[in-house]
Amino acid sequence: MPDLAAYEPIAGPSVVSDLRELAKRLAGRRVLMVNSTRLGGGVAEILNRMVPLMREVGVDARWDVIEGTDPFYRVTKKFHNALHGKAEEIPPEMFETFLEVGRSNAQRIDLDVDIAFIHDPQPITLVEQRPKRPAVKWIWRCHIDVSRPIRTVWQFLEPFVKRFDAAIYSSPAFAQRMDMRQVLVAPSIDPLSEKNRELTPEEIDAVLARLGVPKDQPIITQVSRFDYLKDPIGVIEAFKRVRKSVKCRLVLAGGTASDDPEGEEVLAKVREQAKGHPEIHLLMLPADSHLEINALQRASAVVVQKSIREGFGLTVSEALWKARPVVASAVGGIPLQVKHGYSGLLVHTVEGAAHAIKQLLNNPAYAKRLGENGREHVRQNFLLTRHLMDYLLLFLALDYQTETIRLNGV
């Protein structure tokens, strides 16, 4: 893991200096991050980079992961879909399973900290264990869009959310109206990680050869879990339309997360749709395939993210950082990353995606300009250093709130 000084050439010396000054006021503060998996998905990737940086600047940060059963993860997948607005049948015993696993984890995880930072619904019931001391702060970090949830699931979770001192969302459009502190913090990429660092042409070629992806035609790539909400079948349909007039290849690169029980089912359906099309490459990659994803994105003529619903969609920023032109659905946090016609093209349908892909393949100069604009947009808004600063500022704001209450005798 690079030290903070390594980010100066990218983020600027003043950003690094400001981070160190802010962190001095939080030195020794014990921060616990809790989520549902160490491998697979953007949350785990961010924590893997964020926690060491917090430690480097003097915050006593650690990361723990809840333990769950297969029935528990089936429940949380249904919760995830329902919070995105998809109708799900969730009988009462599933809610009880969720609570039981939460109680079990509360007995196992050391919650004696100054700041408990809970990510997404899976570990949310840990807040029942928060002490009554005002100086101890609890933060809920919601990485998904809960603006239009299925009400039964949100009504079940809302009482837990309200017990936190603050809720963080990736986009202002994601939040619910609640009488509590709500904060906007966009996710980020680490430009120095294996997934985002610069690669030589030789490194890229070696990865493509190992994965069996020829470079004889322009490559269109989507990197995502095999998940219904990522719409890999819609990507294949759009590609088939493009292929009628432009020779190209499609790469669908993804995997499954340990907390997502639907991945294998979706992958089977995708394989069926791709059958008989040798120009479609399905790559089932392990969760630590960061170099492979980096090389695939850099080798692509167009990167696609055709989600039906989305949290933030950080794979978009990953592609933009590599100056790749992006075609993406106008859902979730993607419009914060892609400014239509400036840093990429936003679409709403399979037909729209096919048209946008063809437009970029047929106009390389336009595609190059979009990619260059996208890289600068990411540099200014979606790097790990900005993300860390947002968190440090929130910690200080919560400290200030506690001190104000103490001085006022409330």
Domain that holds residue 223: 201-381
Domain identity same for 172 and 106: yes
Which domain CATH number covers 399? 3.40.50.2000
3-state secondary structure labels for all residues of 202-221: HHHHHHHHHHCCCCCCCEEE
* CB of 335 closer than 8 Å to CB of 317: no
User: Is residue 387 in some structural domain?
Assistant: yes
* CB of 167 closer than 8 Å to CB of 184: no
Long-range contacts of the stretch 348-351 (C-beta < 8 A, 24+): 350/234, 350/237, 350/238, 350/241, 350/306, 351/238, 351/241
Closest CA to 334 of 355, 303, 313: 313
* CB of 271 closer than 8 Å to CB of 282: yes
User: Is residue 195 in some structural domain?
Assistant: no
Distance CA 182, CA 175 (A): 8
How many domains would you assign to the chain? 2
Domain identity same for 298 and 393: no
pLDDT of residue 188: 96
Distance CA 170, CA 180 (A): 17
User: Is residue 403 in some structural domain?
Assistant: yes
pLDDT in tens, 147-196: 999 999 999 999 999 999 999 999 888 988 898 999 999 999 999 999 99
pLDDT of residue 264: 81
Element (H, E) at 259: none
Domain identity same for 42 and 102: yes
Closest CA to 50 of 401, 332, 386: 386
pLDDT of residue 378: 97
Q: What is the CA radius of gyration of the chain?
A: 22
Domain identity same for 64 and 45: yes
CA-based diameter of the chain, in Å? 72
What integer best gives the mean pLDDT of the chain?
A: 93
User: Is residue 157 in some structural domain?
Assistant: yes
Domain identity same for 181 and 270: no
pLDDT in tens, 245-259: 999 999 999 875 555
Distance CA 47, CA 295 (A): 23
- Beta-carbon neighbour count of residue 86 at 10 Å? 15
User: Is residue 196 in some structural domain?
Assistant: no
Q: What percent of the chain stands above pLDDT 90?
A: 82
The pTM assigned to this predicted structure is 0.88
Domain identity same for 284 and 306: yes
User: Is residue 120 in some structural domain?
Assistant: yes
Domain identity same for 43 and 163: yes
* CB of 324 closer than 8 Å to CB of 302: yes
Domain identity same for 38 and 178: yes
Classified as helix, coil or strand, 403 is helix
Domain identity same for 67 and 126: yes
Distance from the first to the final alpha carbon of the chain = 43
pLDDT of residue 287: 82
pLDDT in tens, 12-47: 999 999 999 999 999 999 999 999 988 877 899 899
Domain identity same for 50 and 135: yes
Q: What percent of the chain stands above pLDDT 70?
A: 96
- The arithmetic mean of pLDDT across residues 367-394, rounded, is 97
User: Is residue 193 in some structural domain?
Assistant: no
pLDDT in tens, 127-149: 999 988 888 999 999 998 899 99
Domain identity same for 305 and 354: yes
pLDDT of residue 311: 83
Two structure tokens written together for 283:
């790559």
Domain identity same for 357 and 398: no
Distance CA 177, CA 99 (A): 25
Distance CA 145, CA 270 (A): 25
